[in-house]
Amino acid sequence: MAKVLINGYGSIGKRVADAVSKQKDMEVIGVTKTKPDFEAKMAVDKGYKLYAAIPERKSLFEEKGVDIEGTIFDVIEDADIVVDCAPGGIGKENLENIYKKYNVKAILQGGEKAQYVEDNFNALWSYDRCYGKDYIRTVSCNTTGLCRTLYAINSATDIVKARVVLIRRGADPNDAKRGPINAIVPNPPTIPSHHGPDVCSVVPELEGKIITSAVIVPTTLMHMHSLMVETTGTTKDDIIDAIEKTPRIFTVSAEDGLNSTATIIEFARDLGRVRYDLNEIAIWKESINVVDNEVFLMQAVHQESDVIPENVDCIRAMLQMEDDNMKSIEMTNKAMGLMK
Ligand code: NAD
């Protein structure tokens, strides 16, 4: 059993903790919080051992009567790997100040820069490269969504160049600090946006071939991507077939009422998914088209949950628990109840 410590039990951390707990070959030995809020209390209620991420804050938990086992430094030496789920930028500090000092393997999240780590993870593209490594980043929600779909297209044909417009959610549903609420914001205002280079951190073969631009809109449910991918030649049927064969992406039909991110999330709710998570990328079937060897499609990405199964596979790769990425994907999917 691999012993996993989750450092930062927020939107991503609590989902990774639950996904790891469901696997047969790994267990959560603890989760950390910086403050004794409702998430900390619920973590304890769920049976997770809770530790203070910042030692000086341990007394805050005790004052509030929240059961705390100690600080991160009381548990870190028992961990085979830490999944860092702290806010963007803090993961790098934790890497330098804690993980490297304690010589423990660590996974950082997409809010960190690609160059801080040995390599960048997506289960389809870079499992083998990350196998046995010590410090890896699972890429962001947008990059994960793009990597999966580009993998499908690449399995049907050769990619000459890719152009992507990303329409990004303004805030997560639990976030009262961010916006916009009445605008569409080019973000970043420069083209290319950072998303293309981020895809290249996983797929170096696309270096110089992918250009992305992004805007932020007032919605919380999902991101949406519009892809235009020039290839050496393919057909619409081949692309649909490749999507069907690729794990963690699937087609939805506007004709069935799945005509917006709102109804796609309703679909996830009706599936009974916890926190209405849709870990798979939904591609609108009607949007898939091929014109003059150029593939067009639109997809929806559930920002809070698509990276979760990737973190589980990344643990297996880094701890050399399974050398076949497709077998790890299958194990993770089965345990989490994913469609494919
Ligand atoms: P969050 O704010 O929901 O959760 C972060 C948690 O870390 C909080 O519980 C916070 O208290 C805790 N924390 C703060 N300082 C800490 C420290 N020094 N050490 C340990 N924990 C600390 O953030 P999130 O949305 O879960 O994002 C975490 C990471 O995942 C970021 O890199 C982010 O870019 C990335 N990510 C987020 C999303 C998303 O949609 N939310 C999607 C993909 C990737």
258 and 214 in a common domain: yes
Residues 175 and 296 in one domain: yes
The enclosing domain of 237 has a CATH number of 3.30.360.10
Judge if 28 and 55 occupy the same domain.
yes
ipTM exceeding 0.90, yes/no: yes
- Is 141 noted as a catalytic residue in this protein? yes
The pLDDT score that the predictor gives to residue 6 is: 98
Q: How far is the CA of 11 from the centre of ligand 1 (A)?
A: 6
Q: Tell me which residue range forms the domain holding 93.
A: 2-139+307-336
Cα–Cα dist 338/307, whole Å: 13
pLDDT tens digits, the chain, 340 residues: what are they?
999 999 999 999 999 999 999 999 999 999 999 999 999 999 999 999 999 999 999 999 999 999 999 999 999 999 999 999 999 999 999 999 999 999 999 999 999 999 999 999 999 999 999 999 999 999 999 999 999 999 999 999 999 999 999 999 999 999 999 999 999 999 999 999 999 999 999 999 999 999 999 999 999 999 999 999 999 999 999 999 999 999 999 999 999 999 999 999 999 999 999 999 999 999 999 999 999 999 999 999 999 999 999 999 999 999 999 999 999 999 999 999 999 9
- Contact between 58 and 71 under an 8 Å Cβ cutoff? The reply is yes
Number of domains in the chain: 2
Residues 256 and 156 in one domain: yes
The minimum-distance atom of ligand 1 relative to the CA of 88 is 32
The CATH number linked to 319 is 3.40.50.720
CA separation for the pair 149, 62 (Å, rounded)? 47
Q: What is the pLDDT of residue 154?
A: 98
What torsion, rounded to 10 degrees, do the Cα atoms 74, 86, 316, 133 define?
-90
Are 158 and 294 contained in the same domain?
Answer: yes
- For residues 188 and 146, state if they share a domain: yes
pLDDT for 150 equals 98
Residue with CA closest to ligand 1 atom 23: 87
Tokens of 8: 């930062």
**243 & 263 share domain:** yes
Same domain, 75 and 200: no
Catalytic residue (choose from 85, 141, 147, 200): 141
pLDDT, residue 122, reads 98
Regarding whether 41 and 146 lie in a shared domain, the answer is: no
Do both 93 and 28 map to the same domain?
Answer: yes
My answer on whether 61 and 210 are in the same domain is no
Mutate to test the pocket of ligand 1, among 9, 31, 32, 34 (most ligand atoms within 8 A of CB): 34
The answer on 317 and 197 residing in a single domain is: no
91 three-class SS: helix
- What is residue 85's predicted lDDT score, i.e. its pLDDT? 98
Distances (CA, A) of 206 to 52, 153, 195, 240: 41, 13, 12, 22
